[in-house]
Every structure is written in structure tokens, then in C-alpha cells.
Amino acid sequence: MMEIREGYMPFMGYQTYYRMVGTQTGNKKPLILLHGGPGSTHNYFEVLDRLAEEDGRQLVMYDQIGCGESYVEDRPDLWNAEVWIRELEELRSHLGLSQAHLLGQSWGGMLLLEYLCNHEPEGIKSIILSSTLPASWMWGQEQMRMVRYLPQEMQDAIEKATASGDYSDPAYVEAEAEYMRRHAAETPKEDAPDCLRRPVRKGLEAYITGWGPNEFTPLGTLKDYDVTGQLRDIKAPALIVSGGDDLCTPYIAKYMYDRIPESRWELFRTCRHMCFVEENEQYIKLLKDWLNANDE
């Protein structure tokens, strides 16, 4: 039976929850998974658990401060890249992850790139940039471009909310929900894995303070995030993964692919924002091949 170990790391007077799946075997380096949001949780990464058993590779996932089992509220001063980077650094030290692969999905990929480009960590064997972005402005522009494929009344509702800053109108709520259904994910069905249906404590404060009111409008502490000029300096082998209907549009994925020297891009043509859920078998096979090729 696959070993699963859970625990908490003291962090800034609070606790960061982590979950380790499997054990490290041979020369296979662990894979650290950075979830999206800000304010999402590790839960959806549990669909990758069998990678630990099938590949003999340890997976390490955690709930970033502000959400899930690391929930904190009424601390807007915490919701910034500096705190989340410090948490990642301390987690690696706490768990003895001196050498590892990193996978960041959505905001987790932003965190990964910020860490790699501006903190020069040691021991990173490779990186997986899953449905992510190198600049907030680029993400905002691409989302607004895709909004134009919604019905006109939905476009109008989003434009009105964006101009006024009032996101309470039911017409806007419906329009945003439809946009996210098309490009992010839909409500999990009854036969979906338990980890996708399990109630979680999302960090709404972390999301709004860190990013903004929605995917189209980066207004938070991450609004100036931009590592586009540093992509060419990345030394670690990089696997870029995105979906054909993803919030991470093919333009964003190709932008990173064109500029990161040792990179490979895999486009899951029919997927949205969570390729590892929608094409789980294919995604796990891709990870196996990639990680085993980059352990040395």
C-alpha cells in the first residue's frame, strides 16, 4: 500500500500543511507540487498520487498559507509573493528537499518562475510549468481577448463590472461562471475522484488581495509580476503544459516555450485549465518520461 504522510510546518506563527506520497527510491528525485490560486488547495493534485507508486517517486504537495489546512484570514499583509516564496524555501528545508523537481500549476507556476528567476535556488533538477504565465499583464490581456467569444450580453456584463468595480450584479456572476466553465473547469460530477469533490476551505481573501476580483483583472499584489525578461536565463530543463481551451492560451504557452532555452511544450488540445485532471493518463505518462529523463 502506498505510504502517505501528512504534517504541519510552523510558519510565521501559523502552520503550513503538507502531504507526502510514497518514498524516494534510487536516484529518483521528489516532485514538489505548487497549487494555483492564490488561495486554492493541494486537493486536485491527489489525482497524481499513483505516479508515486508506478514510478517509485515521492510527491510532495502542500496548502499554501491562506487556504485549505493552512487557512488564515484577516491577514492581508501576508498575501504577496515574498511570503509565499519564503514558505516554499522553508518547506524545502523543513522536509530536507535539497534536490527536487518543481511543478507549478496556474499561480503555482508564477510562484515557481518567481522563485527560479529571482531567488536562484539550488538543487532544482527540472521544472514543469502547467497552465501558467510569465506576466500578469499578458494573462489579463489574453483573458479579455477570450471574453469576446462569450455571448454579447455576457461581454457587456463583464465590461460593466470591470468599469465600475462592482462585481455583485447577477448578470456578471453568470458571465464569469460561464467563462470559467469554458476555460477553467466545471463542477465535478458524482463519478469524479473524491479529491475533486471534497469540500475545501478556499482562500478567497488570499485570491482577491493577491490577484484581484477575477481572472481578467489583475489588481492585487501580483499585478506587476513579470519575469518575461528573465526567461532566457533559466538553466533548468523546462516542460510547458497547456490546454487548447485553457486560461493559459497557446499564445502564453508558446511565449514561454520560445524563450526558455531547454524547454519542451506539450499542448493537450481538448483540455481546459487542469490537463492533469482531464487527460490524467496522458499527463502521468508525460510526467514519468520527463522526470526520469531529468533526474541526473
Mean pLDDT by 10 residues, the chain (296 residues): 92 98 91 98 97 95 98 97 98 98 98 97 98 98 98 98 96 98 95 94 97 96 98 97 98 98 96 98 98 95
Which of 35, 101, 246, 263 is the catalytic position? 246
pLDDT score recorded for residue 296: 84
183 is catalytic: no
Which of 40, 70, 106, 136 is the catalytic position? 106
pLDDT score recorded for residue 2: 82
Which candidate, 126, 25, 6, 115, places its Cα nearest to that of 63?
6
**Grid cell locating 165:** 468595480
| CB-count burial class (<10 Å; 0-12, 13-18, 19+) for 295 | middle
Complete domains list, the chain, with CATH: 4-144+195-293 (3.40.50.1820)
273 is catalytic: yes
126 is catalytic: no
